[in-house]
Structure 1
């Protein structure tokens, strides 16, 4: 789960990370009012979307008076920003963050991520801030600083100081950097984050350190114990297909293909998508209905897949261990009858009660294409999609 910049800053500030003063705005009037509250003679109006590279997309504006703030807010609100992270569809701006301008002397990159290979929190830092970490790695690989934190011990002050020294900070800034780095680590650990990124962490002309931008992502599976974090979720910034599925307890990731997938088990889902590609098709989604594939759950899965207008065929691939194929077959029949399916459907069942499940599909009288192996199912799904596309043309 991602959150907005202003939300991440508010959370990090609670752990001692220094941030610039700012305020939220939902209209041009509010934006100008926030600037007056902050005072000063220069402000930054920032579009709040779940994406980096907002500046390159025109989502960050420096303003010097009420007129410029009004015009910037009026232009940004309701606008769709397209960045390399949003994809061509972009994300719509519904809120702005008005922040006091900062006198920037230099920029630093600071990130905390979960290194799953080594099962450690890893700190990634660079003296070349203001760029995406991928750009820094490509253009200035020697500037990357990596520090793994021992899980049983946690991050120690000496590690934070080592990072600060390697970043080339002056003596008077080391303790400030130490406080900011340790604050980020505590926020990461105590709020079940999967990523904390400050880019840039700036050194001001006055020698202070300020987190000028901040991003945080969280483990959705831990949000039941972090209700104050879960409340920060902004569904307007999420793929509506994924939101629909998540609200119904389904693991779903939307893709750009046209063959919808309903599968139990993440590994089987990945293998099925690979086989669809191998057969010459493109999967429209990753959908894992999990171990409890009841008829009701299967129906919900069908509705989630069909919420994508790009789906032109569906492949159901179930290996029943905890599940039973007859339950799944009943769910498939109910879904097809209730939804009035207009596109080809291929079903492959294997495992517990497979013969009973196949009999239910066969006796349903519905135009369901069956398959016995994964390879056969993928081939039939792609061929059915092609035949249906040819008929439509």
Structure 2
């Protein structure tokens, strides 16, 4: 789950991470009220969407840039009016862009130096790791490709946590000196406390800035949270903005389905993430292109299968469906019943290939065979991929 920049700033303030003052607005009048409340000479107006590259983005109405600095309260109103209710396109949104429904109004920082700081969950070690660089303000991928020597990594012990000597070590690696090291240690410790307390999988601050007066401030942040821990994070779950997400993924989450939309034309319905990945690969190998990742889990019900079909068919690019089920815990006959119910309820008119294996598979195959519906049965995964690719080409 992702959150907006203004929500990240609210978390920073709660956990004592130094940042600039600001607040969010949903209308031009609210933006003016926030600006007047700040009492500064200049104001930053930033479009709020779940995507980077906002400053270099372009609105579909032709207005350039999702980040502007102005010294006029009335200009704040004008900028907010040009952003709110408009679609912003950046290199991360794709050509469809994202609708801006909120803007952040904040005091600007007089930046002397931009740094990069992130806490990530290192899957290899199963523990957090800090990544820092003196090259802030640009994509860390660019730094890794062109100047990897400027990236500093500091692993964090999973039980001891971030130690004081490590915060000083990171600060010195970033070129900080004197009182800045003390400020950085405080900021890094607060950030790690936030990382643990809110079950984060990533906190990326880019840029972390040194101001001309020597202050250290976290200006912009990207958060990711462990979806499996959201049940114990009601405060974080309340920050979810479903309008920023693929509506198919939102619908899937309501039925405890794992769905990610892709740009192909052959939909997959599979139980198990590993099997789903293998199914996508073999479709590609057979000459097709997967339209989604969809894992119904180890014990899907008839209602979940029906919901999965409806989500799949909401994608206009889908021209065929491959169901690949290995029944360990799951009963293949229950899946077969769910498939038939879904096919009837959705008036399925595109090719459907089903491969069943495992628990009660013979009953499942019999249910499909006696249904009278045009379901193509497959013996194994390779056979299933070849059949769905051929069926889609024939129907085209």
- Number of residues paired by the alignment? 389
Distance 1:90 1:290 in 2: 32
- Corresponding residue for residue 61 of structure 2: none
> Could you tell me how far 1:304 is from its partner in structure 2?
1.5
> Could you tell me how far 1:385 is from its partner in structure 2?
1.1
2:169 maps to 1:162 = yes
- Corresponding residue for residue 357 of structure 1: 364
For residues 290-309 of structure 1, the aligned pairs below 5 Å read 290-309=297-316
> Could you tell me how far 1:67 is from its partner in structure 2?
3.0
Distance 2:235 2:178 in 1: 37
Q: Deviations over 1:18-46 (max 9, x none)?
A: 01000111111111121111011111001
For residues 127-276 of structure 1, the aligned pairs below 5 Å read 127-276=134-283
> Could you tell me how far 1:82 is from its partner in structure 2?
2.2
Secondary structure class of the residue paired with 2:289? coil
- Corresponding residue for residue 110 of structure 2: 103
For residues 371-390 of structure 1, the aligned pairs below 5 Å read 371-389=378-396
Q: Deviations over 1:280-333 (max 9, x none)?
A: 111111001111122222111111211212111111110111111111111111
> Could you tell me how far 1:55 is from its partner in structure 2?
1.2
TM-score, L = length of structure 2: 0.96
- Corresponding residue for residue 72 of structure 1: 79
2:320 maps to 1:313 = yes
Q: Deviations over 1:37-74 (max 9, x none)?
A: 10111110011111122112111111121232122111
Secondary structure class of the residue paired with 2:256? coil
TM-score, L = length of structure 1: 0.97
Distance 1:132 1:370 in 2: 47
Q: Deviations over 1:84-104 (max 9, x none)?
A: 322232221111100011111
Distance 1:240 1:101 in 2: 35
Q: Which runs of 5+ in 2 are unaligned?
A: 58-64
Distance 2:199 2:20 in 1: 25
> Could you tell me how far 1:174 is from its partner in structure 2?
0.7
Q: Which runs of 5+ in 1 are unaligned?
A: none
Distance 1:220 1:325 in 2: 28
Distance 1:159 1:55 in 2: 33
RMSD over equivalenced CA pairs, Å: 1.1
Distance 1:220 1:111 in 2: 19
